[in-house]
Chain A
Amino acid sequence: MNSRLNILKSILWAIVGVWAVVSVARFVRGLGATTNLSDGAPWGLWIGFDVMAGVALAAGGFVLAAIVYIFGLERYRPFVRPAILTAFLGYAAVAVGLLYDLGLPWHIWHPLINWQHHSVLFEVAACVMIYLTVLTLEFAPVILEHPIFKHRIFKTVYNFLKKATIPLVIAGIVLSTLHQSSLGSLFLITPGRLHPLWYSPIIYVLFFVSAVGLGLMMVTLESLLSGYFFRHKVDTSRLAGLGGAAAAVLSLYALIRLGDLAWRGVLPQAFSGNWQGNLFLFELGVSAIIPAFLLMAPRIRRSIGGLAAASVLTVLGMIGYRLDTSIVAFLRPEEAAYFPHWMEFAITLGIVAAFGLIFIFFVEHLRVFEHHDDDTATAKRYFPIPVEASSVRDFGQRSWRGPAWYSLVAIGTAAITLVFLPEHIRSGDLHRAESVSGVRTIEGLRLTRASQEGTRFAVPAEDAMAQFAVPGADPVLLMVIDGNRDGNLVLFDHESHRVREGGAGSSEKECGVCHHMNKPFDRNTSCYECHRDMYNPTMIFDHTSHTAAMGGNEGCVRCHRDPDAVKTADNIRPCYDCHADMVADGSTMIQAPPKDGLRWQAPGYRDAMHGSCMACHEKRMAADPEYYSAQFVRCDNCHNADYDTELRHLSPYATLSQAAGGE
């Protein structure tokens, strides 16, 4: 045991604790509750990182297998086992990540029976499934070397798998070539959405070549990390060989990418200075050009620092390439900005942490890394010989302190996560609160139309008002009804409505047609003060003050009439029994039927507005069909403010005089 590794494991277990809690939230509450995905951004971090980048990061498996088994470069054999293990665990992690991202994960096996040869995604799924099987078979001999598999049957399986190595390796290379490239082909069908700097008709070539370069650098990074955490010597001379190959592959990738853009005439966009151009240059520099230059210098690629820098840059840069292609450079509707929810990060990190722990477990109990200063002699000897029992710690002999500490860490972080889970996860109420603001006012012109069909208003820019003073267009003060400030507004001529309801003289009686229920000690409560949410009903009943007003415990029965029944909201006296004076005769206010359970709640702002306006419009229309046309009850009778052309300066946050409301 060493402290570096213990710290790493503690951190990984801490992340696993968070992951466990968020996993439950994900599967109980669904994608919408735990992610920031939307119809505008249907793919997010779980596809971009867990699948796209995950598969690419695991490319070292087939690259190293090809180098050693096919090209016979035996000196790289020590890297094969860690590379195969990374690939095996990487693809397993991809499968687990997919379970989170799929809407119906229990249908994940459906591609097995529904073959769709015209779907790139089917090809990817088929290749990944077969390749995961191949990787399992490729890695199985390492597991079977462990002393607990000493039965004859295991030996037979072991020998069979050893004989099948070459066919398995070739199958793995073919499958990897197919699906590494096809992950890029997925985006061929989105020419309208993927930015031209990333969209390419040969994107599959770019994905494949970049995966090979990334695979080599990932194996390098892993060797460096295992050297650090397991405190064994890093073989820089061999890593330098991999680094040289990576330099060539990464250069090739950069050349193809730039050449393809130049060929299609898109390259100038990279230097246009917009964020996509800058992102492209940054991504290509970090992922390929800088590491390739670093690795071309023999002195740098023989130093641990140089290798570390190049491999970290490539790994981060290529993750960036996958994320850019699938998320960042992908066109979304303007409003559907996507940044992952913290729970999305928790799941992604949790999967990485869990598979990191499995990786460490395998390294600790199986012969994955050559821990000694290996020369060619041990490398030659190393593969076929089963591990001696003494060289690995036995499963049963570990002290209890490790597991107890790690359990404590994981349970601790899980408990903390429980505390910080968002309210909507616990309550299951996924409706987003959409708060409402009061109306604003603006001076506009009333345009008289020849027909009686509705009224139109025009709002000229402020300084241009004078020149619009034409006959038939009078300046009026308009209320801008746009509760949630999304720009879909209704212009409302309050004064003419008031005059129509009550005549020219103000008796205040006409107010009650629309207005009802002021707040205590208030004379003109605005709509938005009770109808506080755009779509959802809001609780406005104040039980405490009612209890006080009714005289404490003695007063319960004044509302909860039945003294025997349990006092709930279902057996109360209607509010209007006492508050009848709050609603004027002829008011348009619609009282919710008791079964809706909305009696002490104010309906959503939109429903309140529609209810109030529409009820009256329909009543007028029925009373005088000669005068009003069908237009009078249609949406665009009121929703006719032409936001795009006339009212651009009424953008949601434009400064307008804030009306007190109701005036």
Chain B
Amino acid sequence: MIDSPSILIDVTRCTGCEKCIDACKEANDLGHDCLRPGQRSVDALSASRFSTILRKPDDTFVRQMCLHCLEPACVSACLVGAMKKTDAGPVIYDEDVCMGCRYCMLACPYGIPRYEWDKPTPLVRKCTFCYDRLKQGQLPACVEACPEKALTFGTRDEMLLEAKKRQRENPGRYRDHVFGEREAGGASVLYLSNISMNFLAWNNTVGDQPLPELTWNSLKKVPPTIAVMGGVMTGIYWIIGRRMKRAVQNGEADGPDSQATDTTPETTEMRDDS
């Protein structure tokens, strides 16, 4: 199996024939689509549709699928490690580990993972880059099925070079940008297109920063928080306890009215539980 497998999607070559979708459905045994509430149309991504063709103006067809980010937000979000970035590259899902919290669905900047809402034992479903086929040395089913060569398979470096080459050899055909090269830290699925691909991301915006960094900024503060909070609380307890003990001793010496060391009279009572 090759290292960091990648798919280059040439949007200008796609004719919207949906042969890739059929192949995907067959390879993953996905069956019939059925519209459910909250879904725009039956052709939208769903638990039975890992990939779909978005129809854009001017006969532009954009294949929507998991981008297999280099630093996937879904993987960093998963609290049990059901979403995994394999060593080779594809982001896969382990249904035996998943709890079904659906945080991956929230975290994904492209809104890719889908849920089997109508089953009593639901799973998260998404494109696996045909990981099992790759392991057997086969191409992903969609790449194999594409009659227009809109999908090209290779290592990520090869695909980036190929994209640059096509941009060079066909001036004016493509925008000067490969979507997925840097988006959210980079992705394994790259889009070469004549229109902006930002609509694939929420709110039409996705920065270059890997999303896991955002939560790591907060998570790396956990050990210092434990140390500081624990230390400060122990310290305050010790200092106030000592002051109160002294206040009681002073009170015994000077009489009950002396509360010199405390600002509020209520705090002079001795703690009786410890």
Contact = CB atoms under 8 A, between A and B. Distances in A.
A120 B103 CA distance: 10
A383 interface: yes
B266 interface: yes
Contacts of B101: 101-103, 121
B214 A383 contact: no
Nearest to B237: A70
B77 A121 contact: yes
A500 interface: no
A463 to B, nearest CB: 23
B226 A178 contact: yes
Interface stretch (B169-177, B186-194, B203-211, B250-258): B203-211
B137 interface: no
B237 A166 contact: yes
Interface in A353-382: 376, 380
Contacts of A190: 106-107, 202
Contact of A42 (B17, B102, B244): B102
Contacts of B274: 69, 163, 165-166
B272 interface: yes
A102 B99 contact: yes
Contact of A70 (B43, B203, B236): B236
Contact of A380 (B42, B98, B102, B272): B272
A434 B102 CA distance: 27
Interface in B112-126: 114-123
> Which interface residue of A118, A333, A488, A606 has the most chain B CB atoms within 10 A?
A118
A369 to B, nearest CB: 18
A39 interface: yes
Contact of A165 (B55, B214, B222, B273): B273
A32 interface: yes
Contacts of A606: 42
A635 B248 CA distance: 88
A488 B230 CA distance: 60
B203 A193 contact: yes
A204 to B, nearest CB: 5
Interface in B7-52: 15-18, 34-43, 45-46
A636 B16 contact: yes
A21 B119 CA distance: 19
B114 to A, nearest CB: 5
Interface residues of A, number: 93
B26 to A, nearest CB: 17
A546 interface: no
Interface string B194-238: 000000011101110001101111110010011001100110110
A103 B119 CA distance: 9
A182 B40 CA distance: 33
B161 interface: no
A641 B218 CA distance: 48
B203 A189 contact: no
B109 interface: yes
> Which interface residue of B79, B115, B216 has the most chain A CB atoms within 10 A?
B79
A384 B267 contact: no
Contact of B80 (A101, A105, A116): A116
Given A29-B120, A70-B233, A384-B272, A535 B240 contact: no
A117 to B, nearest CB: 7
Contacts of B100: 102-105, 107
A83 interface: no
Contact of A104 (B81, B98, B215): B98
Contacts, number: 258
Interface string B244-272: 10000000000000000000101101011
Contacts of A43: 102, 106
B226 A174 contact: yes
A28 B273 CA distance: 49
Contacts of B103: 119, 121, 186
Contacts of A69: 237, 271, 273-274
A430 B109 contact: no
B106 A188 contact: no
A30 B117 contact: yes
B2 interface: no
Interface string A420-444: 0000000000111010000000000
B91 interface: no
Interface string A88-118: 0000000000000111110110110010111
Q: State the main secondary structure of chain B at its contact with A.
A: loop
Interface in A100-155: 101-105, 107-108, 110-111, 114, 116-125
Contact of B79 (A36, A121, A162, A536): A121
A336 interface: yes
Given A43-B102, A192-B109, A192-B206, A103 B122 contact: yes
A245 interface: no
Contacts of A431: 34
Contact of A486 (B41, B58, B102, B244): B41
Contact of B273 (A42, A337, A384, A645): A384
B115 A634 contact: no
Contact of A162 (B118, B123, B202, B273): B273
A338 interface: yes
B79 A111 contact: yes
B130 interface: no
B269 A74 contact: yes
A124 B103 CA distance: 13
A37 interface: yes
Nearest to A634: B17
A116 B101 CA distance: 15
Nearest to A37: B117
A329 B240 CA distance: 44
A37 B103 CA distance: 13
Contacts of B61: 636
A162 B272 CA distance: 11
A37 B101 CA distance: 13
B233 A36 contact: no
B6 interface: no
B79 to A, nearest CB: 4
A182 B218 contact: yes
B34 A42 contact: no
A39 B45 contact: yes
B78 interface: yes
B38 A72 contact: no
A212 B137 CA distance: 57
Nearest to B73: A189
B85 to A, nearest CB: 11
Interface string B114-149: 111111111100000000000000000000000000
The 7 closest A-B pairs by CB, nearest first: A103-B100, A38-B38, A32-B117, A192-B202, A122-B79, A75-B266, A185-B218
Given A72-B240, A74-B266, 13 more contacts: A27-B120, A43-B106, A70-B237, A102-B100, A116-B80, A186-B215, A189-B107, A190-B107, A190-B202, A376-B269, A380-B272, A486-B40, A636-B16
9 contacts: A39-B117, A72-B271, A162-B273, A185-B218, A193-B106, A331-B202, A331-B203, A432-B36, A645-B57
Interface of A: 27-33, 36-43, 66, 69-75, 101-105, 107-108, 110-111, 114, 116-125, 162-163, 165-166, 169-170, 173-174, 177-178, 181-182, 185-186, 188-193, 201, 204, 331, 333, 335-338, 376, 380, 383-384, 430-432, 434, 486, 488, 534-536, 606, 634-636, 639-640, 642, 644-645
Interface of B: 15-18, 34-43, 45-46, 55-59, 61, 73, 76-81, 97-103, 105-107, 109, 111, 114-123, 201-203, 205-207, 211-212, 214-219, 222, 225-226, 229-230, 233-234, 236-237, 240-241, 244, 264, 266-267, 269, 271-274
